[in-house]
Amino acid sequence: MFDIAVLGAGPAGLAACRAAAGKRVVLIDDNPSHGGQIWRGELAISIPDHVTFHPSTRVFDLRPGFTLHTDTQGVISAAKLIVCSGARELFLPFPGWTLPGVFGAGGLQAFVKSGLDVRGKRVAVAGSGPLLLAVGATLRKRGAKVSVIEQAPLGRLLKLLRAYPSKLPQAITMRLGLPMRTGTWPVRFDGKLHLSNGSALEVDYVACGFGLVPNTEAAQLLGCRLDDGFVAVDSKQQTSVAGVYCAGEPTGIGGLEKALAEGEVAGRAACGLATRPVSRRFVRDLIETYRLHPDLAALAKADTVVCRCENVTRGALDPFRSWRDAKLQTRCGMGACQGRICGPITQQLYGWTPESVRPPIVPVPAALFDQ
């Protein structure tokens, strides 16, 4: 039995572990190394001595008490739980988005960080959000010829930068040498990437992403309340369930600094130490800046695939009124990803939301359910 279990070894989870010095802490992450999406094991941050780390381990069920059901370590118990499960990318379907050469923006970045050679390749990094510039900068550093296509209009981007001047140097560094179109988005890929302004780009790869979706499933399984799609927390990162804290992207998409600050607060609060609340202003301003243009919901045509696992097209989904109906009648969301990709897409296209979250929250062999 551990004092504290931390789910997710990204910046938030690592900060929570550091802050909980002196406690018996277990840290679990499904990646082979710690660091989360941004660092991916590249940063030399070590795991503190008081922490037992289980990498390459998926938590597929959580129950009150708290027991975490994992695919490599069986059941792990802890008195308190800090959920730092991060976020995943939001994709929006457009004709050609399933063709070879089209990747998720973070997905292509992850391939490149694991050795994919993009030297001399022409890459369009398209969609929305600050991640596009980060991905563009990484790909350019690795020798790719990158164009960034951001759907948000320039005026909103400049307003955000003016409100946060301390972020300006970072934005300039990432932007250096990256041709960038704003207020523009991809409408079709057929070997060329066709854009909403009527132009087309010859590319080798498209890296697409329209923002991030918080991974709230772990907290939801325990009954934690959501607020506008994010895990609701108080000024100590305490959720609506006693003993469960949450930090980082599940409480609001806000980037590295917020994840680190919230992780520290959650770790300290779980130890009963004094904390200072983390501001949520940047989260709200990011939402406003990168608000998606309504036309993006109309890019998918009747024959465009929406659920890739079960090959369900937009035309097959159009007659239905809810996620549940569509799921029962078309198998949308019932494939390997369990709706993690197409669920948020149908929310954007139709406003559907799943009625409940059930285990397993990540794909695992059925035999593990005997635990």
Ligand X SMILES: Cc1cc2nc3c(=O)[nH]c(=O)nc-3n(C[C@H](O)[C@H](O)[C@H](O)COP(=O)(O)OP(=O)(O)OC[C@H]3O[C@@H](n4cnc5c(N)ncnc54)[C@H](O)[C@@H]3O)c2cc1C
Residue 29 touching ligand X (CB under 6 A)? yes
Residue 38 touching ligand X (CB under 6 A)? yes
Which residue lies nearer to ligand X by CB, 148 or 317?
Answer: 148
In the complex, minimum distance from the CB of residue 85 to ligand X, in angstroms, rounded to a whole number: 4
Contact between 151 and 296 under an 8 Å Cβ cutoff? The reply is yes
Residue 84 touching ligand X (CB under 6 A)? yes
Which residue lies nearer to ligand X by CB, 37 or 238?
Answer: 37
What CA–CA distance (Å, rounded) separates 195 from 201?
8
Q: Which of residues 315-344 bind ligand X (CB under 6 A)?
A: none
**H-type alpha helices, the chain:** 11-19, 36-39, 105-113, 130-141, 154-163, 168-175, 217-221, 255-270, 281-289, 314-317, 323-330, 342-350
Residue 9 touching ligand X (CB under 6 A)? yes
Which 3 state secondary structure label does DSSP give 56?
coil
DSSP 8-class letter at 102: E
Which residue lies nearer to ligand X by CB, 210 or 320?
Answer: 210
Q: Give the residue, chosen from 5, 195, 283, 362, that forms a contact with ligand X under the rule CB under 6 A.
A: 362
Which residue lies nearer to ligand X by CB, 109 or 196?
Answer: 109
Q: Residue count at the site for ligand X (CB under 6 A)?
A: 35
Q: Give the residue, chosen from 5, 90, 146, 249, that forms a contact with ligand X under the rule CB under 6 A.
A: 249
Residue 87 touching ligand X (CB under 6 A)? yes
In the complex, minimum distance from the CB of residue 329 to ligand X, in angstroms, rounded to a whole number: 29
Residue 33 touching ligand X (CB under 6 A)? no
Residue 10 touching ligand X (CB under 6 A)? yes
Q: Omega before 230 cis (within 30°)?
A: no
Residue 213 touching ligand X (CB under 6 A)? no
Residue 71 touching ligand X (CB under 6 A)? no
Which residue lies nearer to ligand X by CB, 325 or 359?
Answer: 359
Residue 82 touching ligand X (CB under 6 A)? no
Stretch that binds ligand X, among 7-15, 44-52, 180-188, 299-307 (CB under 6 A): 7-15
Contact between 70 and 77 under an 8 Å Cβ cutoff? The reply is no
Cα 160 to the center of its chain, rounded Å: 21
What CA–CA distance (Å, rounded) separates 109 from 86?
17
b vs e for 223-233, b when ≥16 Cβ sit within 10 Å of the residue's Cβ?
ebebeeebbeb
Residue 8 touching ligand X (CB under 6 A)? yes
CB-based burial label for 242 (10 Å; 0-12, 13-18, 19+) = exposed
For the chain, first and last CA: distance in Å? 17
Which chain residues interact with ligand X by CB under 6 A? 8-13, 28-31, 36-38, 58-59, 84-89, 106, 109, 131, 134, 212, 215, 218, 248-249, 255-256, 259, 361-362
